[in-house]
Structure formats: C-alpha cells, structure tokens
Structure 1
Amino acid sequence: MRPHFYYFSFVIASLLLFPGFGTALSAKKPVKLNIAPQYNYGKMAQALPEKNSQSEVKRLNAEAIKLLGANRSEQALQTLQKALLLTTDTGQRWWEAVTLNNIGRVYQKQGQYSQALKSYEQALLINRELGDRVQLGKTYSNIGYLFDIQNRPDLAVFFYKHCLINREISRLVPAALEVDPDAYSITVAQTYRTLAERLLRAQRQISQAQRAMDLLKVEELQQYLLNVPGNQRTAKGIEISPEETPTKEKLDQTLDNAVVLGKELTKLRQISPERRSPQQKQRIAQLVTNQQQLLDRFNDFINSPQVRSQVEQINRTARRQNLDLESLNEIRDNLARLPQKAVLVYPLVLPDSLELVLVTADSPPIHRSVAVKRENLNQTISAFRQALQTPSQNAKKPGRQLYDWLIKPIENDLKQAGTQTIIYAPDEQLRYVPLAALYDGTQWLVQRYSINHITAASLTNFNTQPESKLRVLAAAFTKGNYEVRVGNRKFAFSGLPFAAQEVQSLATIIPGTKKILDDAFSLAATVPQLDDYTVVHFATHAAFVTGRPENSFILFGNGDRINLRDVANWSLPRVELVVLSACETGLGGKLGSGEEILGFGYQMQKTGARAAIASLWAVDDGGTETLMTAFYTLLNSSKLPKSEALRQAQIALITGKSPTSKQQNGSNNISLAVDGSLNHPYYWAPFILIGNGL
C-alpha cells in the first residue's frame, strides 16, 4: 500500500529545466546562492531528540540501501515506503526528497525506468521548492544516469549539465556541499567525468567537454579537502546548447504551472487528514490528477519526434559550434598573454580509453581519443615510476609507451601551434608521473617543452607577473632522526646530509638569503616569517600520502610537522614560489588517484603563493643540490620564467653541460659544474612546478 507515493507525481520531468536553474549564467552579474538553511540535516539533528522520527527515517534509508546492495530490492522498497510515510506525515520535506531518490534507485535497479523517473521527479520538485541546489543537482544526476543506462545520451547530457550547473553555483557557499546523503546512483565527480565523455563522444562538443574536465578537478578537490570555494569563473557552470533551448522553453512553461500546484498541495497536506474539509480533500485529489496529467504530457513530449529531431540537430551541428565561448576565450586570452607559446592539455582517463583535449590560443579545441584501458595505463604508470626511481633501470621503454599515448596523438597539433610550454592538468594516476620524463625515442619531453602543471584553469591565474627582485628564505633539516605516524603506519626520517650545502649554495647565488637550520627550523619560528620573502625553500622531508589530507605532511627541522589541510592556513600573498626539494608520493608503495598531489597544489595556491615546486619521489639529495643550484642560478641571473628555468636546469643534468640562458640585452652563459652522471631521470625528473609558471 502506497498512500502517499504519488502525491507529487506531477513533479514534472519538466523540472528538467526550471527557470534560473538550467540557464547559462552571465559573467556580468554576481551569482547568488539560495540555500534554505532550515533544511540542513546537520542542524536539525542537533535540535531534535535522538529517538525521533527523523532519526528513524535516516535509519530506514540506510537499511534500504544495504538491502538494495544485497539484491533484496522488494524489501528495500517496502522499507523506503515506511520512511516515505514518516516524512510525509511529519513534514520532513528534505528527507522526503532523499527517500524518493532512493525509491528511484530501487525501481531503476529493477528495470522499472518509468517508475524510477517519476520518483526522481518528485524529489526534484521538493529540492526546487526548498531552494536546495546541492541536492537538486544530485537528483539531476540521478535522472541523467537513468537516461544513460537506457542508451539516451542526449537526455543524459542534458540532465548531467544541470547537475553541474547547480553544483557550481552551490560551490560559492562550500559549507552547503557537506550534507551528503547516500541517495544517488553515482558521485558528482563521476557525473562530471561521464558528462565530459558523452560530450566528446556522443555530441563532439570539445569546448564544453574541456569545461567539464576542468570543473571535475575542482570537484575532486572538494571531495578530498572539503570546503573548497568556487569563484565567479566556476559558477558560470556550463552552457545549454541552442538546440536544447526549445525543449527548455517548453518545460519551463510546464514547470511554472507545476510549482504553483505543488505549493498549494504542500499547504493542504499540512492539515492533518482528520481535520480536512470535504472541499479540501476534493482539491487534493484534483491537484494530484492535474499533476499526473502534466507528467504524462511531459513524458510524451521527451519521446516526441520534435525532441528526437533536436537531438539529431545537435549531432549535425556540433562540429560547427563552439559553446562556452566566454570561458574558452578567457583561457585563450590567458594563453596568448604568456611570453612563450603555450597550450593547455587535459587528459581524461576512462575505463577503455584516454581522451586528450588540447586548447591553444589561436584555434578551436582539439580532441584526440586513444584506445587504452585504464588497467593497462595504470600498469604502465606503475612500471614507469619504478624505473624512474631506480637509477639502474632503463626508464625509456615505459616512458616511450606513455609518450605514444599522451603526446604522439597531439604531436602535430603541438607543432602547428608553435608550442614552447605545455600547461598540464593531469588526471587520476597520471598525477604520479612527470610529463617531462616522457621519451619520444630520441629525447625526453623536457628537452622540447617547458612543463607547467595546474590544478584547474578556472582556479589558476596564468599571467600574474613576478617581482623582479628575489628575496629567499631557505630552511633545512640536516641532522637528527624523527618518527612519523600516519594512521597505523610508522615512517622514520633522518636529516638530509646535503641539505645544508643546498641551502648554502642558494645563499651564495642569491645574497641576503635567510638561512634556518634544524632546531631553529621550527613551525612556530618559521611560518610567521614566510611572507617576508618571494621564495620559500624547504630542504626537508614532505610526503603526499593517499587517503585523508591529514595523512600528508611537511616535516620541520626540529621534528614539528604540519599536515596538508593546515597548510592552507598560511598567508603567503607576497610569495612567488614555494619549493619542497625532498618530498615524495606513493609512500608505502600505494598509488591512489593523485588527489593528494592535486590537493597540495591547491592548498599552496590557497595560501596566496603563485606557484610551488615539489618532487614526486624521494630524490638523491646530492643530485637535488646540483639541480637546485642550476635552477636558482638561472632564476636569479636571467629573465626566464620559473617553468623555463626549471627546464633548463633539468636539461643541464641530462646533458652534463652548463645551461645557457638568454637575457633581454643578449646572451648570458652561466657557468656551472654539472655532474654528467646525473642524467638518469631519477635525479632531474621528479620536480614538477604547479601553478603560475612565470
């Protein structure tokens, strides 16, 4: 018996596009967020006794999800119907929407797609009435996924876009993203990834796919760090195509009527059944009938020849369209302003392919697809890392394979663009390997291009010019032994013998460098000084560990340590560059999806620092001292951007020759003693620059 289940079946799939929630946002007006705080579950739970109806609703939903996971869908449905009765009887609208989403998931798993859609639509309307864009976006994702599994990529893309649009507006108030009930078929990050895939494959909308790929990285940061704020660039979301506009207008018209009916029905339902007058009971029945008629008309509409022809039109015109022009032109303008010819490269790792998107300053975005399974890609990444970290191994073979997958498909495009710098936004386990160490059969990639990593284009300012005068604080952990516990694991760290020499060399190159060693290199004494300098150099251990941000840390010379989450509390608006010269990833041999590396780049960026250099594995500190000497010599005596100075220093170790830099007034030969035995990428490749490379 389901007395309340269809009360909101009018919820019109027309909610597909209700006013203001599906439109592309204008950059000229600040985006405002409307979140109804009274529906924040965390606050409600504190205000109510533990054994109340809300706790019971939450328990029933959790029990149903377990039953669904055990393939006991009928029992799951019965459990959810109990929860739904409780929510409708007590007016718990937020939990009613959660329960309806879970009911939709049960019907979806049973293959009852029309019933699943009705349930999702009911949840959608409640989210709309509550002004809860976060849950609204996730419900859109559920509907998108429902159409995806029915092989309707057109409607899947449409709904996935609405998930992204609402999510990015919500990101302006990141605390709103914390409430996260388990009521959704896929995660938001999976939604963004799938949307990018569908835009590339089904609709060939490359610029929109690049936008989804960029915002995917912002969402990954949110999942890892929490409370990651958006900005006016992220809040623009993604555009609705012109071919989708007629559908939107039709649905908006239906929605206007549905919202009015829904509000009246909600008001009548607040009256207990025994106190309703005959007229009120009749009106409720009439409203439910009207709502069902709206829903039926909508379902007929989305399957009509008119909508089908619009989908065909999208596929026909996709090659000629360039949607999200505003976001794309902003990126192009940033690339055009860089002193070296730069391009932006996004890889997207999918289960059965690697999708590459290349953005240049002068041409439409370029898409190349590479047939490689994620499993094979990750195996090659693991083999490459092992070879890179072992000087006795040949890293060229796995480096060549990754080159063939990542660079060769866009090799001609890079040449045509006159590329000098690759701005790289790696995905998943690609974050664990340096692009600079890919091998083309003749030379390493760094010998052809500067490499500049970024978190996301929408979070990065490419063109902030550095101060001309370097002021350096150099700190080192040179002696002593400390033990660090990460979860149930212990790691022992000893002082770095060459660190003192590394700091002294830096002070010789850049007079006035402030040196801090060992016990003086403490958290309390060091951090307050950082923003007095343009370069902060730490020759000490740091580790990027999979899992929570609290697992990753920087070790100070006196044994203090700071975790990755707390680094964001530093204030470094005058710092151009933070260098960690002895850090590592994959501690304990475990590789995740690289969120800890993405998170490090973002946390440093959040401090106000323009860029950071870090290493991807523990490096021989003698080789590090040589590389850093070359890097700072170039940075101090030439007009090279940071990314190019790092490149020239790496080439010096590869060739064993002193680097040559070119100043504005002519050439300048920099004389350095470079050890030719440091040419293996173990010594020079781990260092990546993240952020503004100027």
Structure 2
Amino acid sequence: MFIILMDRLEKALDYYNQALPITREVGDRRMEATTLTSLGVVYAGMGKLEEASKYLNQALPIDREMSYLLGEASTLNNLGAVYAGMGKLEEASKYLNQALPILQELDYRSGEANTLGNLAQFEQRQDNLTQALKYIEQAIDITEETRSEIISPDIKTSYFSSVYNLYQLYIDILMELHEKDPNKGYDAQAFAVSERSRARTLIELLTEANADIEQGIDPKLKEEEQSLRFQINAAEKQKLELFIKPDPDKMDRFTVVQEKLDTLNAQYQDLKNRIRATSPRYAALQFPQPLNLAEVQNQVLDTDTTLLQFALGEERSYVWVVTKDTMKTYLLPQSADIEAKVTAFSQWLGENPDERDSQQGQTAGQELSEMLFSQFATELTKKRLVIVSDGALHNIPFAALPFSKNSTLINNYEIVHLPSSSSLAIIREQNKQRQPAPKALAIFADAVYRNDDQRLKDSPSETTTNNPPNLNILALNQAIENVGNTRSGSPLSLKRLKHSQTEAQTIQTYLKDAETVSFFDFDANLENAQETDLSPYQIIHFASHGILDTERPELSGIVLSLYNEQGELINGYLRLNEIFNLNLTSELVVLSACETGLGKDMKGEGLIGLTRGFMYAGSPRVLVSLWQINDEGTSEFMRRFYRLMLEENLTPVQALKAAQLEMQQTEKWSDPYYWAAFTLQGEWNQ
C-alpha cells in the first residue's frame, strides 16, 4: 500500500533523478533523504521493489543523522511496505513497528493511519486476520476522525479518495474472515463498510441542503457571493465571445480568460467554505452516519426490490445481493478484468448502429453479464433492481445487458441507480418534511445556439460562421468533437435541436389542464433558469445540449440559449455550481441531453456530476443519459416516457422500463443505442 505522488511515474522518476545530484551538490541532507525516499516510492509504484528498497535504505540513515523524525517514519513505513511486497516478512514487521510509535509521538494522524493499514495488510498476508482486523479498524477510526475535521466538501472528497484503499482492505479482511467463519456476520460488517466508503460527501451535502446554512451569516458574505457569481457570469460571456468573434490573439486571450475563471471559481469555493465555517446552522448540523445492513433493509428496501451493491478491488471484487430479509455476498473478478469488459461493451453501445458489428456487442455484453450475474441470476426474483455501482460500472447501462436467452435485464426488471443506500434514506426523510409542488411542469427546450439560427433577424449566412480551429480549447478544455445533431458538443458545434420543441409541446398535451410553464427559443436562457421560481413545479425538464468535463466537473452543465432576440451573445451555461443554487421541490428532473449521467469518478465518492447537483437542489430523482444520442431518438424516447407516466399513471421507473421496451420492440428504434442510455437515479417510489 504505497502513496504514489504522481500518476505519471516515469516522469516523476526523471524529475527525482534530476533533483538528487542537486541536493547533494548543495549539501541539503534533509532534501537528499526526502528525494531518496520519493525515488523509493516511485520505484515501488512501478513494481520495482529491489530498486525501491535500495533508495529507501540510503534515505534512512540520513533521516536519522538529521534527527528528521517525520522523514524517518515515512521511510520506515515505505520500507515495511516494500519488504512485505517482496515476501520478506520479518523485515517488513520490523520497519512498520518502528514507524508506528514515531508517528504516534508526532501526532501525525494520516501517517499513522497509513502505517496501520500497512500493518493490517502485512498481518493479512500472514493469515493473522484477527490482528489485521484490529489494525485496519484503528486506521479507519483515524481517517473518520480526520475527515470530520474538514469543512470543504472538495477537500473531504479528495481526502476520502486518498484513503479509499483502507476501506477496500477492510472489506477484504472481513470477507476473508467470513470465508473462514460464515456464521459470525462478517459479510454484513463488510456491507456496512462498503456503505461507509461511498458517497459520504453527497450524504453530508444533502443534509446541508435542507438546513439553509446561509441564514444568520454576515451579510457581507452574501454580498461577496452575489459579486462573485456576477463576475463568473461575465467571464463566461467573455469566453463565449472568443468562441465566436475573429481574433488573431484568440488562443492567448482564451488562456487569460480561463485562468480568470479558474481563479473566480476557486474564490467562490473558498467563500462557500467560509460561509460554512461561520454559519450557526452549519455548526449545529448533525451529519447522519451511513446505514448498516439492517437499516438499509428496514429504511430503504421493500418487498419488491433487490439491491445489488458492487465493490471493485484490485485483487478481488464483491457484490452484495440484498432484499428486505436476506443478504448474500459473491466474489467477483478483480477490477481490471471487469473494466476491460465494461469498456468493450460501453464503447460498442455508444457507436452509430449503422456502422458497428452487432455480434461484437452481443459478445461483449454476454461476457460482462456472465461475469457480474452468473452466480446469482436465478435468485433475482423481485421485480425491481436497485444498483449501487462502483468504478467503471457507473458507465454502463445495466438495462441493455443480456440476461437470459433473447432478453436483456430491462425485459425482466425495473432498474434504478443510487449513489448509496444512505443517500436515499436522507432524501426520503427530507421529502416527508415538505409540501408537494402544486404545479405540473417547467420545461426548457429548443434554445438558440448559433448566430446563423433562422430565428435571428438578419442572421449571417452559413458560410460566414467562424468554425473553431481547436475544439479541445473551445470545448472548455475537453476534447468534444463536432457531434452534429446529438445533444452535446462544443459551443460552435451546437446545432438547433429542432425535435426538442415538438418533444416539449407533446409532453404538455399529456398534462391537459395542469399548470405548466415553458421556455422556448430565446426564452430558454440562463436568466430564466436562475431567476424563475421553479420550486412550485413537480417536473423540471431540460431538452438541450450538455457539456461534460470529467476533469473539472464544476464546469459540466446544461447549455441554454447563447443569443438574445437582438442577436447579442449571452452566457447560456447552467454550470454544476449554479445547479447547486437552484431551489426545487420537484419530484423529477429530466435532463434530455447527452452524457448527463456521467461525471468525474472519485474513489469512495462515485460520480461527481449533474445528478448530485439536482439532488442537492431538492429533487429526489433525476433521469439522465450515458452517451450521445441523436436529437430525434431522444425526442422519441421522451414522448413515450411522458405518455406512459402522465397518461397511464406509471411511476417514473415503471415508465422508464415500459418506454425502453416499446422502443426495443420498434424496428427503427430497437437498437439499445437509442433507448439504453437513459437511467433513473434516486427514489423509485412515487
């Protein structure tokens, strides 16, 4: 268990090898020891344990010579991990047990947790599982204590990701104990650890969302927040202008504006953390603990539902199959094997049906399905599956997985996805405390994206439109290709979604005399999304383009109109940060845009993306998509989904299944490319 400082180990190795002679030339012994230890860590990360031990053994006497206790403890800890990996168990034990008291003396809690984790892994390899359990529980206690002292959600998420391997080790040890003694309930404990290891920041954000933490804060903080939001909006508009207007220095200016935006966004997050730190309501919050097995069975599951909770690990993976009154655990292959099958299947699904090999997709899907379900397929007798994914599994549509002869999973079950069981329990508790929204639907559709749109007076001809020289830059640092009529893309590749207004108008006919509000054309803009009181509406529907940024998820969002009626460029990006500021009491948010179900996959937290933003804003369920689908196909699906939900009174999850089956049975739309991308996240009860 090594702390790898950089993902690109070869580059790290090069830098450290350049640094080492410099530290020796200037006579900086402490820095020399630190560099030697870093070289050892990098070599360990590359699997070159002999080389790692060579550098670490050079660092140790220098640490001791300089009385550098923290450096000595770090070197000892890494030496212990290296020797354990080499099978030299006596040396491993010696060094780890020397490191631990130094770290405790220094009160260096994160280092102590890491060493305890290494000791737990060492004892596990020697089959001393009881002692391994003792060490890992101590390590987890420290990580939980450390995490509780952090205010910033972003830092909490990053910290939790850095210690996620401890939770994986904890699960492994418990499951090995379960294999030795199946009657002691170790598998149930492992399930509880799995629940503790996922979506913790989301759980706390959901709790925070219901507390109105800005009440009672210094008014100057609110003023600063409004000012920053105004500045961010202005900078976004500047960036859009660079996309559109000819400018020989465009690239340089773009970099300046992007750096300004990055600074403003960082200031905004810092301000939100200062609000948390000074808010009386935030100080009074009692964050809920993740649920254990019995609580999940009592508070989350019903008699019609089976929960499949996955945990992917480097050496082995697990799935817990849980009903209202039963629980079984199954061993799955290592994460790399599962990820390979997921990649093959998901890539095939996202390709144009007219240009791909259908047999290849069937084979990939069958292999993945066999890997995930073969051990317990006959036990899935309930009508609904609730899936808590992990790692690469977030990216696949379970609905399209082959399950039995000539059928997919959606032919047999309703399918719902959750970030964690505990998050749904909080959502349900909050829903009990609010009145139902009195109005039916608020809908945004058919926005104006280009200056050659026919709806603009005196619009320039197609030939005068400036095409972007570099989509990677112009798509907000994300390589989004010109995707034509799909509901995703870069600012200048965004074409009119002609079917989206028809889609919206059809949906409104299903509601008959119910009260709705619609924003079409120029009115489908950011100002209306932010300034309109959306809280009275049961359903919020966005039929638009989407932008996905998996590196900086706060830049992901929904693209609304980029021009006003005068032909002036306006900011149309409803970013994730702004979604958090919406005030909703809706029963359902529908994101009829591409890739809205994706995000940045953070270990221990799951996907950081639009779904959590709308859940924070107040919606218990969100319908999203996993890949780019053409405008007509999306519109076709949405018309069916709403008809089934509004005219036939099906619940959203029932309507989702029925709409997918209808399309599956229609020749034009039968390929899973058209229907399988849509998934429901959150509550399944009406």
| TM-score bracket, shorter-length normalisation | 0.5 to 0.7
2:422 corresponds to: 458
Q: Tell me if structure 1 keeps the 8 A contact 2:398–2:409.
A: yes
Counterparts of 1:179 and 1:325 in 2: how far apart (Å)?
A: 19
State the 1:144 CA deviation: 2.1
Partner of 2:440: 471
Residue pair 1:549, 1:563 contacting (<8 A) in 2 also: no
Once the two structures are superposed, residues 568-591 of structure 1 have per-residue CA deviations (whole angstroms, 9 ceiling, x without a partner) of 632434122221112227999x99
Q: Where do 5+ consecutive residues of structure 1 fail to align?
A: 1-54, 89-95, 233-323, 657-675
8 A contact 2:36–2:55 mirrored in 1: no
* Superposed displacement of residue 101, structure 1: 3.5
Q: Verify the 8 A CA contact 1:477 1:540 in the aligned structure 2.
A: yes
1:334 alignment counterpart: 299
Distance 1:648 1:349, change over 3 A: same
CA change 1:375–1:420 in 2 (3 A) is same
Look up the match of 2:614.
604
The one-letter amino acid paired with 2:78 is R
Match of 1:280 in 2: none
- Conserved in 2, the CA contact under 8 Å of 1:522 and 1:556? yes
Letter in structure 1 aligned against 2:370: D
3-state secondary structure, aligned to 1:640: coil
Specify the code of the residue in structure 2 equivalent to 1:120.
A
1:598 deviates by: 5.1
Give secondary structure in 2 for the equivalent of 1:578.
strand
Could you tell me which residue of structure 1 aligns to residue 343 of structure 2?
382
Q: Report whether the alignment pairs 1:405 with 2:405.
A: no
Give me the whole-angstrom Cα distance separating, in 2, the residues matched to 1:652 and 1:471. Answer: 25
1:623, CA displacement in angstroms? 2.0
Counterpart of 1:542?
Answer: 546
2:333 pairs with 1:360: no
1:243 aligned residue: none
Q: Deviations over 1:381-413 (max 9, x none)?
A: 222223322324424333332222223322222
The structure-2 alpha-carbon separation of the partners of 1:177 and 1:576, relative to structure 1 and needing over 3 Å to count, comes to closer
The answer to whether the 8 A contact 1:400-1:441 is kept is: no
From the superposition, tell whether residues 537 and 325 of structure 1 become closer, same or farther in structure 2 (CA, over 3 Å).
Answer: closer
What aligned pairs does 1:102-121 form with structure 2 within 5 A after superposition? 102-110=75-83, 111=88, 112-121=91-100
Q: Does 1:624 align with 2:634?
A: yes
Deviation at 1:58, TM superposition (A): 8.4
Cα distance in 2, alignment partners of residues 108 and 635 from structure 1: 56
| TM-score (structure 1 length as normaliser) | 0.64
Of residues 565-574 and 443-452 in structure 1, the stretch that sits farther from structure 2 once superposed is: 565-574
CA distance in 2, matches of 1:82, 1:620: 63
Asked if structure 2 preserves the Cα contact closer than 8 Å seen for 1:174 and 1:230, the reply is: no
Whether contact under 8 Å (2:598, 2:607) holds in the other structure is no
The answer to whether the Cα contact below 8 Å between 1:455 and 1:601 also exists between their aligned partners in 2 is: no
What is the alpha-carbon distance in structure 2 between the residues aligned to residue 522 and residue 58 of structure 1? 55
2:561 is aligned, of 557, 560, 573, to 557
Query: In structure 2, how many angstroms separate the alpha carbons of the residues matched to 1:488 and 1:622?
Result: 25
Cα offset for 1:230? 9.4
Instruction: For 2:155 and 2:620, locate their aligned partners in 1 and report how far apart those are by CA, in whole Å.
Output: 32
- Which aligned pairs between 1:59-70 and structure 2 lie closer than 5 A? 61=34, 64-70=37-43
- Which position in structure 2 is the counterpart of 1:503? 504
Residue equivalent to 1:516 = 519
One-letter amino acid of the structure 2 residue matched with residue 690 of structure 1: Q
| Letter aligned with residue 214 of structure 1 | E
- Where does structure 1 differ by over 6 angstroms across 4 or more consecutive aligned residues? 55-59, 84-88, 176-180, 585-588, 590-596
Q: Deviations over 1:82-111 (max 9, x none)?
A: 5677777xxxxxxx5575244321343244
Structure 2: 5+ residue stretches without partners: 1-27, 44-50, 180-185, 209-288, 451-467, 481-489, 563-569
- Residue-by-residue CA offset, 1:281-301 (whole Å, 9 max, x unaligned): xxxxxxxxxxxxxxxxxxxxx
Following superposition, the deviation at residue 426 of structure 1 comes to: 1.0
User: Is residue 192 of structure 1 aligned with residue 167 of structure 2?
Assistant: yes
Query: Structure 1's 384 and 75: CA in aligned 2 closer, same or farther, altered over 3 A?
Result: closer
User: Alignment identity in percent?
Assistant: 21
Q: Offset at 1:114? A: 3.0
Measure the CA separation in 2 of the matches of 1:523 and 1:489: 24
Letter in 2 for 1:108: A
Equivalence for 2:353: 391
Q: After superposition, where does 1:87-236 map in structure 2 within 5 Å? A: 100-110=73-83, 111=88, 112-126=91-105, 136-175=112-151, 187-204=162-179, 205-218=186-199
Q: 1:400 to 1:684 in 2, by over 3 A?
A: same
| CA separation of 1:163 and 1:488: change in aligned 2, threshold 3 A | same
Conserved? CA contact 1:570–1:607, under 8 Å? yes
Shift of 1:595: 7.1
* CA deviation after TM superposition for structure 1 residue 354, in Å: 4.3
Q: Give the distance between the partners of 1:641 and 1:399, measured in 2 at CA.
A: 28
Greater CA drift, 77-86 or 404-413 = 77-86
**2:530 maps to which residue?**
527
**Separation of aligned partners in 1, 2:610 and 2:307:** 20
Q: RMSD of the TM alignment (CA)?
A: 4.0
Show CA shifts across 1:446-500 (max 9, x none): 1211111000112222745794866211112444349742326463332222111
Deviation at 1:326, TM superposition (A): 7.2
Report the Cα distance in structure 2 between the residues aligned to 1:685 and 1:72, rounded to whole angstroms: 47
Instruction: For 1:428, give the aligned amino acid.
Output: G
SS in 1 for 2:392: helix
**What SS does the corresponding residue of 1:534 show, helix, strand or coil?**
strand
> C-alpha distance in 2, partners of 1:58/1:535?
59
Moved more, 590-599 or 445-454: 590-599
The reply on whether 1:438 has 2:401 as its aligned counterpart is yes
Q: Say whether 1:487 aligns with 2:477.
A: yes
Classify 1:165/1:135 alpha carbon distance in 2 versus 1 (closer, same or farther; 3 Å): same
Question: Distance in 2 between the 1:230 and 1:535 partners?
Answer: 20
Tell me how far 1:519 sits from its aligned partner: 3.3
Please tell me whether the aligned partners of residues 304 and 384 of structure 2 are also in contact (alpha carbons under 8 angstroms): yes
Which one has the largest radius of gyration?
1
In the alignment, is the contact (CA less than 8 A) between 1:478 and 1:498 conserved in 2?
no
**Amino acid in the other structure paired with 1:407:** F
AA partner of residue 614 (structure 1) = V
Of residues 674, 678, 694, the one that matches 2:669 is 678
Q: Is the 8 A contact 1:170 1:176 kept in 2?
A: no
Q: Tell me the SS of whatever aligns to 1:409.
A: coil
Does the aligned pair in 2 maintain the 1:454–1:690 contact within 8 Å?
yes
- What letter corresponds to residue 217 of structure 1 in structure 2? R
**Aligned equivalent of 1:448:** 412
Deviations 1:30-87 (A, max 9, x none): xxxxxxxxxxxxxxxxxxxxxxxxx997896466323443435455456466567777
> CA distance change for structure 1 residues 501 and 374 in 2, over 3 Å: closer, same or farther?
same
Quick check: 1:549–1:596 contact (8 Å CA) kept in 2?
Answer: no
Report deviation, 1:420.
1.4
User: CA contact under 8 A between 1:173 and 1:229: conserved in structure 2?
Assistant: no
Contact 1:542–1:584 (Cα < 8 Å) also in 2: yes
Going from structure 1 to structure 2, the CA distance change for 1:325 and 1:496 (only over 3 Å counts) comes to: closer
Question: 2-side partners of 1:138 and 1:177: how far apart?
Answer: 22
Q: In structure 2, what is the Cα distance between the partners aligned to 1:413 and 1:144? A: 35
Q: Confirm or deny: 8 A CA contact 1:137 1:166 kept in the other structure.
A: yes
CA gap 1:85/1:467 in 2 versus in 1, 3 angstroms: farther
Q: CA deviation at 1:425?
A: 0.6
